[in-house]
Amino acid sequence: MTSRTLHLNAFLMGVGHHEAAWRHPRVDPARALDAAHYVELGRIAERGRLDSVFFADGLAVGPHVHRNTQAVFEPITLLTAIAAATTHVGLIATASTSYNEPYTLARAFASLDRISNGRAGWNIVTSGSDAEAANFGLDRVPAHAARYGRATEFLDVALALWDSWEPDAILQDASSGVFADPAKVHRADHVGQHFRVAGPLNVPASPQGRPVLVQAGSSESGKAFAAQYAEAVFTAQRTLAEGQAFYADLKGRLAGYGRRPEDLAVLPGIVPFIAPTTAQARALEQEFTDLISPDYALRQLSGMLGVDLTDHPLDAPLPPVPPIDAIEGNKSRYQLVRDLAEGESLTVRELIARLGGGRGHRTFAGTPVEVADEIQRWFEQGAADGFNVMPPYLPGGLEVFVETVVPILQDRGLFRREYDGTTLREHLGLRPHVNRYAVEEAERAAG
Amino acid sequence: MTSRTLHLNAFLMGVGHHEAAWRHPRVDPARALDAAHYVELGRIAERGRLDSVFFADGLAVGPHVHRNTQAVFEPITLLTAIAAATTHVGLIATASTSYNEPYTLARAFASLDRISNGRAGWNIVTSGSDAEAANFGLDRVPAHAARYGRATEFLDVALALWDSWEPDAILQDASSGVFADPAKVHRADHVGQHFRVAGPLNVPASPQGRPVLVQAGSSESGKAFAAQYAEAVFTAQRTLAEGQAFYADLKGRLAGYGRRPEDLAVLPGIVPFIAPTTAQARALEQEFTDLISPDYALRQLSGMLGVDLTDHPLDAPLPPVPPIDAIEGNKSRYQLVRDLAEGESLTVRELIARLGGGRGHRTFAGTPVEVADEIQRWFEQGAADGFNVMPPYLPGGLEVFVETVVPILQDRGLFRREYDGTTLREHLGLRPHVNRYAVEEAERAAG
């Protein structure tokens, strides 16, 4: 265990994860619309030696136009701008397998990966909303299983395309006029149920071989998909016991795909309110809670649970919600919210307050030492390989984490003081990527 | 005419437009693979006060794996990296209407446009090769007319999406909790032959309203498309007379779409070999010609003309080529090459040398004054609003243009000494974009 290192990702969203962040005096709401804000956040994360920064994404406004502060920039372009202003921090973009083509998306990620010298990661999503479907010719979201079927084939194509160019394919021999060795540039020739893709990809491999694969769905299909492909998983876990169960479940599935536990990092989300005293931290959290607009929160909650709550009394418990099998959208979010409400017998008003910080991710108010203690506890007790840090307000909430919590984790020997690699794959302690054709050649050569 | 200003775009491609550039001692071929090279080119263009930089693109390797030096980066990501390192120069990316979805592509351009504070341009292509089709589930390239049909509907959707957010839609009123005015955020509700897209786009408008539209096809369909949509056109014209004819043709079509001649800038390509004396410039061009590899050039030429020339004798004239109606790919390139060969009775070897500099674009070897004279002549005699500058080698060929030709054009009062705006739309002297819904509101208010 001595060599095990904590992994920290900064999940960046607008001016903060708390839904009322933009109304708080610590925040300048105009920054959500300014690319320079996100570039500055990337620099802060790099100053804290974090593994990576990450953007969620959706392919539609809404459901509520009047509050949409989040999806102002497309993540791959925004992370490319951050790449140009940083040198080490990893860059993880969300993109959909349901509404992209493998060739164009694999290429965009390969391009970001080369531009950043090997720092790209892809958070793979299947896009669970009807609003997104309506932007791509569909009446409603495809069934959960169908989306994962397409996602699986999409990944197989993307992985083949990223291996198109062996690392030593490019010769650039000006005297002979040979630029690349054609024997080391491979077609994919994929023919499947959803895609036919010839290849090769027209982007050579990056210093980390291919982008790191990240996943965030905790449904059964999501966990199976993660066990097969993901190298990091973002997850929402409320308690240590639940975190331990999820961690053991996911790690236990890896062997079935010929993978080792250390081939996948489990990163639960944490929304930290940090202040010099515990009382001050709790008071800060309460300030944000008090700014929540109930009508907006009710609409968000309605979307998560698949039931209209907009006229439901705030001080009553939740009404009956549909069974999980009726949910075609985000099943893991649904389950999390339902379990929270039922497990703690919350009224709707209480539930809204609990969800305000991070939409179901764990909120924790405390001193820097208390936050570090909590991170260490989960890390050492089998619930986490690190954390998906979700600052409730930005940039201040990330700055205070980097300036006060990270040094404690460093002093305890849990977290790096300096980057010892340059690629995201290295930061996460993953094995180097080995090109599939180089493997074949080595095997042929060995006899 | 006194207020008319020349427009200059730097067309950037690998280590230069000459197909043998990477073998010349002035060039470091490894730079083609390095994003920092392109960022440096962006800075050089901005130092020269050029309107914009531009990348061509294709969605396949090839046709010849062993020489593919060009499509190493996806243009939108690469231009985002350049955006982060510059402040004024316009950023024009090529992207296909055949193999993208309008929502995702409109969003990527809107994101680049916001990140760059209003400097994005889109060179619209329909992707004319079988190799590209094979990466998107097709056996061969769709028919020319079908591709333009899809492109037209694609543009209508993209334009509607870019108008989703009126410029004053965002209120960000923290005290009332109102982020945006829902009445100023509009759905597209497009239902057409190729696409159904609900909208709104989840990126608010940029400082220039929407990306500048650029087009480069000179077929009949291409010219009709340009007259309807394009705000700048890249074109290959061999002689002043041909340039004048094309210019008059295209400008004459604009009124049919309710547009003025100054709503579209015509920018012919020029591949300038520049040296202190004419003889030195010609000798420099010859050095590059001597490095052309005939077998590679023959395969390129075969692709342009739709006939296999790989075993054809170099010192014979072209064999008969298919009629233009049989060409489903790049019709304008085909016509240019055929006219060049037939018009000047060239052997295949001579044709290859003529095409080596810029694949049919006009090559011009001369002193800085001679290059400036030629640019001025076309600009003043009705053949051009400016030029698409295609340096035969990079970065040197762009540096020498910026350092020796641009100052002459500035001294003659033909070209800006400083940027007088910040957006690409302003650089090109185009009218401000007016949001369609703002127009409707103004009309309602007036009526």
Segment B285-306 shows an average pLDDT of 86
Q: Do A199 and B135 touch (CB under 8 A)?
A: yes
Does the N-terminal peptide bond of residue A63 adopt cis geometry, omega within 30 degrees of 0? Answer: yes
> Does residue A1 have a pLDDT over 50?
no
pLDDT averaged over chain B? 92
Chain A / chain B CB contacts < 8 angstroms:
204
What are A21's two structure tokens? 């962040």
Residue type, B208: Q
pLDDT value at residue B71: 56
**If you measure CA to CA, which chain A residue comes closest to B95?**
A104
Instruction: Give, in order, the Cα–Cα distances in Å from B155 to each of A347, B150, B158.
Output: 49, 9, 5
Element (H, E) at B316: none
Q: Do B35 and A114 touch (CB under 8 A)?
A: yes
Within 10 Å of residue A434's Cβ, how many Cβ atoms? 12
- Beta strand pairing call for B190-191 and B196-197: antiparallel
pLDDT value at residue B68: 42
> Which DSSP letter does residue B352 get?
H
How far is residue B59's CA from residue B143's CA, in Å, rounded to a whole number? 17
Among B2, B1, B4, B5, residue whose Cα is nearest residue B406: B5
> Does residue A301 have a pLDDT over 90?
no
In a mutational test of the A interface, the residue from B115, B125, B290 whose CB has the highest number of chain A CBs within 10 Å is: B115
> Does residue B302 have a pLDDT over 90?
no
pLDDT value at residue B10: 98
> Does residue A2 have a pLDDT over 70?
no
Of A20, A108, A181, the CB nearest to B74: A108
Chain B environment of A137 (Cβ under 8 Å): 195-197
Would you place residue B323 in the very low, low, confident or very high pLDDT band (cuts 50, 70, 90)? confident
Q: Do B131 and A107 touch (CB under 8 A)?
A: no
Segment A261-276 shows an average pLDDT of 97
Chain B environment of A22 (Cβ under 8 Å): 172, 174, 179
Each residue's pLDDT tens digit, A80-115: 999 999 999 999 999 999 999 999 999 999 999 999
pLDDT value at residue A373: 98
Instruction: Give B431: exposed, middle or buried? Use CB within 10 Å, 0-12, 13-18, 19+.
Output: exposed
> Does residue B66 have a pLDDT over 80?
no
CA distance B99 to chain A (A): 8
Domains belonging to chain A, first-starting first, are 7-165+189-275+359-433 (3.20.20.30)
> Does residue A238 have a pLDDT over 80?
yes
**If you measure CA to CA, which chain A residue comes closest to B83?**
A81
Of A30, A110, A170, the CB nearest to B172: A30
Are the CB atoms for A218 and A235 separated by under 8 Å?
A: yes
Of A107, A179, A182, the CB nearest to B74: A107
Chain A environment of B24 (Cβ under 8 Å): 174
> Does residue B293 have a pLDDT over 90?
no
Chain A environment of B182 (Cβ under 8 Å): 65-66
Each residue's pLDDT tens digit, B372-417: 999 999 999 999 999 999 999 999 999 999 999 999 999 999 999 9
Weakest-pLDDT range from A166-180, A300-314, A416-430, B131-145: A166-180
Instruction: Give, in order, the Cα–Cα distances in Å from B158 to each of B185, B188, B211.
Output: 15, 9, 10
Angle of CA points A272, A306, A268, to nearest 5°: 25
pLDDT value at residue B340: 86
Segment A8-15 shows an average pLDDT of 95
> Does residue A254 have a pLDDT over 90?
yes
Among A156, A151, A183, residue whose Cα is nearest residue A168: A183
Segment A170-178 shows an average pLDDT of 77
Would you place residue A328 in the very low, low, confident or very high pLDDT band (cuts 50, 70, 90)? confident
Does the N-terminal peptide bond of residue B395 adopt cis geometry, omega within 30 degrees of 0? Answer: yes
Would you place residue A71 in the very low, low, confident or very high pLDDT band (cuts 50, 70, 90)? low
Q: Do B177 and A296 touch (CB under 8 A)?
A: yes
CA distance A169 to chain B (A): 9
Each residue's pLDDT tens digit, A287-299: 999 988 888 788 8
Q: Do B66 and A181 touch (CB under 8 A)?
A: yes
In a mutational test of the B interface, the residue from A65, A162, A393 whose CB has the highest number of chain B CBs within 10 Å is: A65
> Does residue A279 have a pLDDT over 80?
yes
Q: Do B73 and A174 touch (CB under 8 A)?
A: no
